[in-house]
Structure 1
Amino acid sequence: MLRPRIIPCLLIHKGGLVKTQGFKSPKYVGDPINAVKIFNEKEADELVVLDIDASVNKAEPDYALIAKLAAECRMPLCYGGGITTAEQASRIIDLGVEKISISAAAVTNPGLLTTIANAIGRQSVVAVLDVRKKTGLFAKGYEVCTHNAKVVHKQDPLSLAKALEDAGAGEIVVNSIDRDGEMKGYDLDVALKMRNILRVPLTVLGGAGSLDDMGGLIKQCGIVGAAAGSLFVFKGPYRAVLINYPTAQQKDALCTAALSR
């Protein structure tokens, strides 16, 4: 039976594990391999690892690091960063990664998802949309950004998400730039709008500061992936670095309560 997924999202910057706020000011929080080991012990549902340097620097995926992550990881692993061809995607899958995620390359060329889905299977293709509220006196709605929010695109996020689904994405991740690292709750408005138009699985990222935030997301959107970064690497009001994850009992109680409301 399908159920919500509780997903840690780890960011890689200059080879280390970092956490950002508003896609800026990456703070070093440890070694990614050690983090994977801890999430193994805590039996996380799955793990997302995103290299935030690769697309900006037009660099190839770091296959050596990916191989180490895949060898260590005992849960489904999704990797993103620098993937622009089906050959790169296939190589990463061959290393033992279950899913690859694509952001900038998918936004500018949705047809790439078709090519990659034909190579590795649609179930392994994840499209990531980084979105933020438009600013300005008369601005309304959301806009899509890439390259760590440095490049803004004209496409409407909802229309683009549907186009990426049609092109071959087996999952869509919507990531709130405004709420990244804020730990004040998800953007439920954009999450629900995405859930209502998509047929493929949806994962929501950006803003979770508590398990209650995840429960609220699941209550609003049903069977989704509730992803978080800061929630799983920081502890307490001073954001002390501590890798954490809910117990199986906490997770089951959270999902059961949210879905029964």
Structure 2
Amino acid sequence: MLKHRVIPSLLLSEGSLVKTIRFKNPEYVGDPINVIRIFNDKEVDELAIFDIVASKKEREPDYDLIEQFAAECFMPLSYGGGIRNIDQARRIFSLGVEKICLQSSILSNSAFIRELVSQFGSQSIMVSLDIKKNWRGNPKLYQSSSGKLIDVDWLEEMQRLVLAGAGEVVLNAVDKDGTLAGPDLSLIKQASSAIGVPLICLGGVSSLADIKACVDAGASAVAAGAFFVYYGKHRAVLITYPSYDELEYLFNPSSI
């Protein structure tokens, strides 16, 4: 078993997979079922799927589609998007999803996390924090459903959510999203030193070296989108994933 998970992060919009750059201009990259099948063949550690329009449009999760994802997925599956109450969470878990990821419904509402944890356990509950720099270059909490910065201390908010019971934190660097320009290692270092639960970093990864740099900065796991769906300077769609041996050597060079 690998020391650190490497997780493809897929964005869902109106039933199709898309990829954004800095959370803007979603570009179609494929049919989600076909992409899941490819990742099955590549023996991916874990898969995360985020519906990026459900919360914006105040819609419920697409349960039929989630059920199809879970039926096709040979690896642990995480889902986020549109989850606002216990009944929705219970239904998603019943479809075969291992973890749910929350953002809009839990910002400034840690009571919902406590309720979820009491029902399903902290190991099943992830929270996602999107961090975007303001015009001064200072990192701020960003709410993707509204497209606005939130005037709270992002580290304190993250700690509050963890204290409420969240089992994992997804730290998403908005300014790095889809750019393939390298991760924000400073954010990762700040976040990892502030919490005691697994930290999954997301945004900017463009190489195996970037994945290793994220881990060295304190990430427990590394998620990526563009790195696994694009190839070359023209960003041709090509679904890829490193082999087990490549990742084993990356995290433990002495093992091979």
Q: TM-score range by the shorter chain?
A: over 0.9
Offset of residue 51 of structure 1? 0.1
Provide the residue aligned with 2:74 in structure 1. 74
Number of corresponding residues: 255
Q: CA RMSD, aligned part only?
A: 1.6
Aligned: 1:253 with 2:226: no
Unaligned runs of 5+ in 2: none
Provide the residue aligned with 1:234 in structure 2. 230
CA distance in 2, matches of 1:51, 1:150: 15
CA distance in 2, matches of 1:251, 1:112: 36
Offset of residue 63 of structure 1? 0.4
- Do the aligned partners of 2:162 and 2:197 also contact (CA within 8 Å) in 1? yes
- Do the aligned partners of 1:149 and 1:177 also contact (CA within 8 Å) in 2? no
Amino acid at match of 2:108: T
| Structure 1 outlier segments of 4+, above 2 Å | none
Aligned: 1:12 with 2:12: yes
Q: Deviations over 1:58-115 (max 9, x none)?
A: 0001100100000110111000000011111111011100000001111131211111
- Do the aligned partners of 1:208 and 1:228 also contact (CA within 8 Å) in 2? yes
Report 1:169-188 matches (<5 A). 169-188=166-185
Provide the residue aligned with 2:191 in structure 1. 194
Offset of residue 220 of structure 1? 2.1
Provide the residue aligned with 1:39 in structure 2. 39
Provide the residue aligned with 1:211 in structure 2. 208
Q: Deviations over 1:157-184 (max 9, x none)?
A: 1111100000110000000000001101
Provide the residue aligned with 1:225 in structure 2. 221
Amino acid at match of 1:128: S
Offset of residue 149 of structure 1? 6.2
SS for the counterpart of 1:97 is coil
Aligned: 1:243 with 2:239: yes
Offset of residue 151 of structure 1? 2.4
Amino acid at match of 2:209: D
Provide the residue aligned with 1:113 in structure 2. 113
Q: Which region of structure 1 is more displaced relative to structure 2, 147-156 or 103-112?
A: 147-156
Q: Deviations over 1:211-252 (max 9, x none)?
A: 11101111221x611100000000111111000000011111
SS for the counterpart of 2:175 is coil
Q: Which region of structure 1 is more displaced relative to structure 2, 144-153 or 54-63?
A: 144-153
CA distance in 2, matches of 1:143, 1:105: 18
Amino acid at match of 1:208: V
CA distance in 2, matches of 1:106, 1:57: 17
Q: Deviations over 1:198-218 (max 9, x none)?
A: 111110000001111101111
CA distance in 2, matches of 1:92, 1:63: 7
CA distance in 2, matches of 1:141, 1:150: 17
Q: Deviations over 1:108-138 (max 9, x none)?
A: 3121111111111110000000001121xxx
Offset of residue 39 of structure 1? 0.6
CA distance in 1, matches of 2:246, 2:141: 34
Provide the residue aligned with 2:50 in structure 1. 50
- Do the aligned partners of 1:67 and 1:96 also contact (CA within 8 Å) in 2? yes
Q: How many percent identity over aligned positions?
A: 43
Amino acid at match of 1:126: M
CA distance in 1, matches of 2:227, 2:176: 12
CA distance in 1, matches of 2:109, 2:186: 27
Report 1:119-134 matches (<5 A). 119-134=119-134
SS for the counterpart of 2:116 is helix
